[in-house]
Amino acid sequence: MNTRTRVLEALSEVHDPELDEPITSLGFVTSCAVSPAGDVEILLRLPTPQCAPNFAYLMAADARNVLRRLPEVGQITVRLDDHYTGEEINAAIARGEGFTGAFPGETDDDQLDSLRELFERKALVARQARLCEAMLADGATPEQVTARRVADLPDVPDARRCLELRGRLGITCDQGSPAFVAPNGEPLAAHELTRWLRKARLVRTSLDVNGGICRSLLQIRSQGPAGQEEAGT
């Protein structure tokens, strides 16, 4: 596996905080250049120039952080392209500073961490809902679903992402832990499942709709003046 492939694989670990989808599958990585010496330059283009600065910063900073774990990578440059706060964010990322380094006095990094956590809990709800619905559709009862342990989860992307999110949120995820939990980590009870799923569908629908809008906006944005798509990764 060459360095560029490893870089793109690492970037697939970076998720849009609001949509809980990898920036690679969303098409946000528009350029990935690796020099013979292993220096890496990444260009990120979000769906619109007005995407929220806090989310834009998180994705750029996360991209830099995952690449720093690769021993074969040298100097790392991550830049936002055509974003209305790109200059401030790019400079802060290059200096290794937090969000306050880009926008002094506007918010603090703890508030940004709290925002990230809020969306991670929403993502956990949405992905768990898909898994629960699939089990119910296969004939499982609410009692059987809520009795499942982590060890019983299928080896599918939603389940793997759920465990990753639980780890990030400090929710126990060893093999004997309940497979399905509330955002606070409490196990779901069978009698609560139907009501919980109704609420969870709203969260999931919001993520799915926003994801579709982002893809459409990015596709429109990637069209050149003559309707030709720009070169991607």
Length in residues, the chain: 233
Let me know if residue 118 belongs to a domain: yes
What's the pLDDT tens digit per position in 44-64? Answer: 999 999 999 999 999 999 999
Domain count within the chain: 2
Domain extent at residue 215: 110-219
- pTM of the predicted model as reported, rounded to 2 decimal places: 0.87
Which pLDDT does position 228 carry in this prediction?
38
Inform me whether the pLDDT recorded for 39 exceeds 70. yes
Confidence class of residue 42 from pLDDT cuts 50, 70 and 90?
Answer: very high
Q: Are residues 83 and 145 in the same domain?
A: no
Let me know if residue 69 belongs to a domain: yes
DSSP 51-114: S-HHHHHHHHHHHHHHHTT-TT--SEEEEE-S-TTHHHHHHHHHHT--HHHHSTTT--HHHHHH
Share of residues in the chain with pLDDT > 70 (%): 96
Let me know if residue 224 belongs to a domain: no
- Domain-terminating residue out of 107, 139, 169: 107
